[in-house]
């Protein structure tokens, strides 16, 4: 995960999506993320609404600085985050970079 955590997202237009083997390998590096319908997904659970909202706001900043934005839904104390890369038509390294950064971020919010 350390390598992913210190990497930056970059434009990938014209590049292929990751293979199933590459996805499985990278899933081992980001705790709690799983493959769901062509995306990687994780549910983050918090003490209450305020912690969940703080995470969403911090996540927005991280993803904005990486220029790689997830789909997400938020409830009272949980946030479901899904990444895929539209420009490659599947999952890319950028998805795993952001997943690693969100895993690290959650320790500061909760």
Position 107 scores a pLDDT of 75
Q: What residues does each domain of the chain span? A: 32-109
Overall residue count recorded for the chain in this entry = 110
Q: How far apart are CA 62 and CA 52, in angstroms?
A: 15
Other Cβ atoms less than 10 A from the Cβ of 106: the count is 19
Tokens 């950028």 found at: 94
CATH number of 32-109: 3.30.1360.20
User: Per residue of the chain (110 residues), what is the pLDDT tens digit?
Assistant: 579 999 999 999 999 999 999 999 999 999 999 999 999 999 999 999 999 999 999 999 999 999 999 999 999 999 999 999 999 999 999 999 999 999 999 876 55
Position 77 scores a pLDDT of 97
Position 1 scores a pLDDT of 56
């Amino acid at each position: 995960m350390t390598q992913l955590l210190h990497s930056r997202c970059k434009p990938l237009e014209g590049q292929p999506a990751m293979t199933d083997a590459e996805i499985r390998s990278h899933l081992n590096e980001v705790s709690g993320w799983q493959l769901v319908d062509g995306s990687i997904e994780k549910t983050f659970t918090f003490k209450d609404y305020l912690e969940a909202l703080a995470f969403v706001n911090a996540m927005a900043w991280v993803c904005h600085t990486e220029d790689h934005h997830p789909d997400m839904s938020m409830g009272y104390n949980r946030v479901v985050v899904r990444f895929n890369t539209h420009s490659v038509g599947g999952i890319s390294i950028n998805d795993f970079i952001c997943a690693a950064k969100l895993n690290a971020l959650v320790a500061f919010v909760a």
